[in-house]
């Protein structure tokens, strides 16, 4: 199987070298960039499977880079930030990132998140009996990764697609935030789960943009459910 390619964007030479070395040891092909503009150039050249993107960058910060990348790609973006406030996290996620990691972090955690993100965009080739999921006005194609709401295509990020696919696989089942994190993000989450609320709000906004009824409903104190 071909090596999966990563784009690592970090302006600190020591951090860049250390992360690149460890990722190479894990078997990934690693491309690097040290500025925001350089990141966009490298991305267009190599089209990596995943981007690891620092927020604080010269020329163009990571949030602006993520916004530009989302114009042409729905590939996963893991954002690295020294800012641990809820506002900073929400800003990054709404700006196009699929996940975030607060500095300083253990390499093992970064690696776990990289693997989880790559699993979502590179599923196994095992046969899946239901290639198209349908619920109410929604239709989701697993292979095409397309979503239609009342016949109109809805543009979703990779994470939003995976989140909706999870709910459409279990319609009517109330899902806790812990299970959503485990099944969609691919790892256990400790502490605040506001990241799920951010994605649910974004997903709802897109699905309800044409005046459609709310299907992703909040179960107060528990989580969310897909039902009419």
CATH for 158: 1.10.10.10
Q: Sign of the CA dihedral 62, 63, 68, 73? A: positive
pLDDT for residue 185? 78
* Two structure tokens written together for 51: 């981007």
How far apart CA 209 and CA 172 sit, in angstroms, is 22
Q: Name the domain boundary from 121, 145, 164.
A: 121
Residue 43 shares a structural domain with residue 110 = yes
> What angle separates helix 36-46 from helix 62-69, to the nearest 10 degrees?
30
CA atoms within 13 A on the CB side of 204: 15
For 83-95, letters b (16+ CB in 10 Å) and e give: eeeeebbbbbbeb
Residue 74 shares a structural domain with residue 167 = no
Residue 38 shares a structural domain with residue 103 = yes
Residue 46 shares a structural domain with residue 139 = no
Rounded to a whole number, what is the largest CA-CA distance in the chain?
52
CA 12 vs CA 35, 48, 94, 110, 214: distances in Å: 10, 21, 25, 17, 45
Answer whether residue 32 shows pLDDT above 70.
yes
CATH for 33: 3.40.50.2300
Could you tell me if 62 and 56 are in contact, meaning their C-beta atoms sit under 8 angstroms apart? yes
Number of Cβ within a 10 Å radius of residue 113 = 22
Q: By C-alpha distance, which of 135, 220, 214, 222 is closest to 175?
A: 222
> What angle separates helix 194-207 from helix 158-169, to the nearest 10 degrees?
90
**Residue 129 banded pLDDT, cuts 50, 70, 90:** very low
Average pLDDT on 198-221 reads: 91
**Residue 124 banded pLDDT, cuts 50, 70, 90:** very low
How far apart CA 130 and CA 122 sit, in angstroms, is 18
How far apart CA 128 and CA 208 sit, in angstroms, is 29
Q: Whole-model pTM above 0.85?
A: no
Q: Name the domain boundary from 121, 149, 183.
A: 121
Could you tell me if 61 and 69 are in contact, meaning their C-beta atoms sit under 8 angstroms apart? no
**Residue 195 banded pLDDT, cuts 50, 70, 90:** confident
pLDDT for residue 122? 54
* Two structure tokens written together for 23: 């990722």
Query: Does residue 127 lie in a domain region?
Result: no
pLDDT for residue 131? 79
**Domain of residue 146, residue span:** 132-226
Residue 106 shares a structural domain with residue 199 = no
pLDDT for residue 87? 66
The 10s digit of each residue's pLDDT in 34-85 is: 999 999 999 998 899 999 999 889 989 888 999 889 888 888 999 988 766 5
Could you tell me whether strands 152-154 and 146-149 are parallel, antiparallel, or unpaired per DSSP bridges? antiparallel
How far apart CA 8 and CA 169 sit, in angstroms, is 34
Per the structure, the count of domains in the chain is 2
Answer whether residue 187 shows pLDDT above 70.
no
Q: What's the CA angle centered on 6, arms 206 and 32, to 5 degrees? A: 115
Could you tell me if 76 and 117 are in contact, meaning their C-beta atoms sit under 8 angstroms apart? yes
Residue 9 shares a structural domain with residue 117 = yes
């Amino acid at each position: 199987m071909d090596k999966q390619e990563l784009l690592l964007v970090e302006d600190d030479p020591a951090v860049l070298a250390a992360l690149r070395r460890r990722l190479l040891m894990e078997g990934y092909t690693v491309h690097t960039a040290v500025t925001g503009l350089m990141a966009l150039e490298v991305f267009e050249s190599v089209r990596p499977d995943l981007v690891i993107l620092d927020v604080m960058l010269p020329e163009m910060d990571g949030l602006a880079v993520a916004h530009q990348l989302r114009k042409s790609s729905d590939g996963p973006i893991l954002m690295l930030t020294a800012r641990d406030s809820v506002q900073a996290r929400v800003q990054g996620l709404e700006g196009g990132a699929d996940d975030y990691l607060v500095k300083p972090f253990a390499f093992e955690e970064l690696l776990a998140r990289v693997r989880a993100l790559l699993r979502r965009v590179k599923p196994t080739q095992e046969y899946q009996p239901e290639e198209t999921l349908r619920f109410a006005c929604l239709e989701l194609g697993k292979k095409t990764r397309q979503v239609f709401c009342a016949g109109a295509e809805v543009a979703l990020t990779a994470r939003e697609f995976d989140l909706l696919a999870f709910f459409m696989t279990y319609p009517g089942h109330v899902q806790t935030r812990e299970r959503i994190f485990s099944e969609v993000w691919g790892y256990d989450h400790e502490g605040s789960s506001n990241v799920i609320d951010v994605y649910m709000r974004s997903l709802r906004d897109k699905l309800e943009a044409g005046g459609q009824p709310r299907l992703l409903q909040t179960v107060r104190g528990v989580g969310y459910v897909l039902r009419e």
